[in-house]
Structures are given as C-alpha cells and as structure tokens.
Amino acid sequence: MREDTASIQAADRRAVFRVAALWLAFLAPFFYLTYGTANWLASVRPGVPNLAFDWEAHIPFIAWTIIPYWSINAFYALSLFVNDRPEDVGRLARRYLAAQVVAVTCFVAFPLQAIFVRPETHGLPGFMFDVLGGFDKPFNQAPSLHIALLVIIWDHWRRRLGRTWRVIWHLWSLLIGLSVLTTWQHHVIDIPTGMLLGLFALWLFPAGRPSPLAGFRLTRDARARRLAVRYAGAAVLLLALTVAVTLGSGAGLLLLWPALALAIVAFGYAGADERVFMKGADGRIGFAGRWLLWPYRQGVRLNIRWWTRSLAPATEIAEGIFLGRMPVRRELAAYASVIDMTAELPGLPAPGLAWRAFPSLDLLPVPAARIREAASAVEAARGPGPVLICCALGFQRSAVVAACWLLRAGLATDAAAAVARIRDTGRPVHLPIEAHAAIERAAR
C-alpha cells in the first residue's frame, strides 16, 4: 500500500512539473513580449502623462531594496512548481495570465510614466538596476503588474506555509510591496490599482470552487435583467467619474474599486448568480470576494441600518424561532443557530454557534428547492436552542424560509396565513404574490 501511495505521489509530482514547465515556457515570453510592446508604444507617444502626488518626492531611494523587488521573478517561476496537482498549476497560471492581459491592456490604452530619476547606483544593486533598465522603461505604471502578481503569489504561498514561515513570508511580501516605491519604479497610486487587479485575478479563478465565469448564461428573468442594468449603469457612471477626477488627481483611480464591485454585482444579476460573492455554506466569503466587493458591502450595511432603524433586530415567529435582519456580533449570544440567506454578507462564526448559509441574491425569487433546504435546516437546528432566520433586512429571502417552515411545522394552513402570522409579530414582509406559490411548493 505504501509503495502504491508513493508511486501515485511521484506520478503527481511529475505531472505537476511537466504542466508547470509548459506554462512557464508560455508565460515568460508572453510577458516580455507584451510588456515590452506596451513600453515601446508608450515611448513613441508624445506627452505621456504621470500621476504622482507632490509628497512622493520625500519617499527615499533605497538601493538595496532592488533585491526584494527582483525576488518576485524567482517566486513567479517557483510558485508554478509548488503545487499538489496539475489543476492547481493551471489555476495559478490563469491568474498570472489574467493579471498580465488586463495590466498590459491598461498600459496600452492609458499609458503613464514615472517621473523620478534614480541616482547612480553601484555594486550588486547597480548591476540589478542596469539589468532591469534593459527592458523596463518608465512607462508601465498603473495598475502595477508587480503588485498584482505579488498579491497572487502571496496568496499562493500563505496557504502552504506553517505559522513561522508564514510570518516570514508576510514580512518579505511587505518588503516586496514597499520596494516598488523605494526603488522609484512606481508611484503610490500604482499600488492600490495593482492590488485591485491581483484580487480580481484571484476572484476570477478561485480555489476550491468554480470560476464565476463557468457556465455563465444570460438570465431570462426580467427583474434580474433590470437589476443588472441598474448596477451596470452605476458602475459606468463611477467609471466616468473616475476619468473626470483622475484628470485633476491620481486619487481618482481609487474610484475604480467601487466601480469594479458594482460591475461584478451586475454580472451576478445578469446570469452568474450568487457565485460572484464567493460565499460558502458555512457563511465564510473567500479572501478575494471579501475585499474586492468591500465597497458594495458597505453600501449594503448602510441600507440595512436605514431600513431597520426603527425595528427590532429580530422577532419571534414561533417558540425559539426568530426572523430578522443580518445580526451584528453582539447579538449572536441570543442564538444557538443562524440560517443565513444572504449572498452578499459574510457570516459571523462564533464558538458554540452553528451557522448555515444558503446564499441567494437580494430582490430575486429564492428557488423552491433552496427554500425547502433552508426550512429543513431550521427544523434540524431547533433542538440545541434558539434559531435565527436572517437575510439583509429580514423582509424577503429569510421571510420565505420562515413562512415555509411555519407550513411544514403545521403552524399555518397556507402561505398567506404564514405570511400573516409573521406580520402579526410586527415584522414587515415584502413578498410578491408569486412568492406564495414557491413557499407552498417548497413546503410539500
């Protein structure tokens, strides 16, 4: 048995090495070809602008930081070979490729240049700067591809290292990130835009789940299409504002963050569904989804605060069963279990608290099968203690689950009676009439 296991592991290692070598043989020349072409195109354009704050002139030039700056090249190649399966190699390579394609497209469409002239440098740092200058001209700036690749590589290694080595890796990654400034290779605004690109690549090819692009089909639901158009329109308006503000200040590029978040939400409503939020059944949201969609999530939290400002966080619809908005951490002590219907908000796992998530898009009908599954989870969770059924506001997604559970428990004769019982507790319920049919189908 041990010999069979060792043989399988050896075969896996050979397959990983072979796939990694093939990807590297493609990615390396692709990088130098496209990166160099973007540099050349910028060099022949008249008046290439720059985006730098006045205070950046006080950032010191530290010659030796070219060493951590250069080290990302080694980690770029090595990371392809440090994988358990060929599929993992492919995912990492696709992340690299996505970041490179988007960055180079930006470099060609909106070239920028660095304006600081480095002092003369000698020794090993001088040699490394000379080699770098042979192909890296002062144009390819925002988003920083160096930072985007750093985000991807940092995420790749942090999952594979023990505690001590992970701390060292975090510190070295921080040094690599700072080195783009202390080597005068980039301006400050290039860093957040590069981080955004790196997060996008992680989101596009997530670990342990299919890509949001997988199986995408344009929705036929008229309500979903309208919401997709509205979110896309808001993203376009923010993008236009980004351009307008950036003409006066590089800080305008920060508006790309909420613009991209809204575009991703629009993509979800257009047909990618709740997968765009990267939320698991335990309520946790993947690293990329957590940060990439952070601006949208803050808007959701403000919306919750406004609409529920005069309501109790939750109301008891039956003994031990509560319906309400998404709780805050201090409210969790009152419950033994939470049935969470949101896709956009992360769960709040705590010791002794069972958290079950059934991610569903806001303002859209919840499929009957998901309603039934969530209602069954409510019944299964009753024993240990109080159960909270929640969504963002507690008005729709969680309300259909609560109504379904009331029917299944024999506490209401039909959907209309279940909804009326919930309203009698003082909880507003905003359900279209077609939701009643879905509730009754799910209760069968």
- CB-based contacts of 136, cutoff 8 Å, min separation 6: 35, 39, 185
Helices and strands: H and E segment counts in the chain? 15, 5
- Residue type, position 226, single letter: R
CA nearest neighbour of 250 among 53, 25, 16: 53
Dist CA 89 CA 95 (whole Å):
10
Contact 99, 148 (CB under 8 A): yes
- Residue 327 corresponds to which tokens in the numbers above? 């709780």
The one catalytic residue among 106, 390, 391, 404:
391
Is residue 391 annotated as a catalytic residue, yes or no?
Answer: yes
Dist CA 255 CA 389 (whole Å):
35
Dist CA 260 CA 193 (whole Å):
11
- CB-based contacts of 148, cutoff 8 Å, min separation 6: 99, 103, 194, 195, 197, 198, 201
- Residue 406 corresponds to which tokens in the numbers above? 């009331």
Q: Report cis status (omega within 30 of 0) of the bond before 359.
A: no
Angle between helices 256-267 and 190-204 (to 10 degrees): 20
Q: Where are the beta strands (DSSP E) in 350-394?
A: 354-360, 387-390
Length of the chain: 444
Residues annotated as catalytic (active site), given as ranges: 391
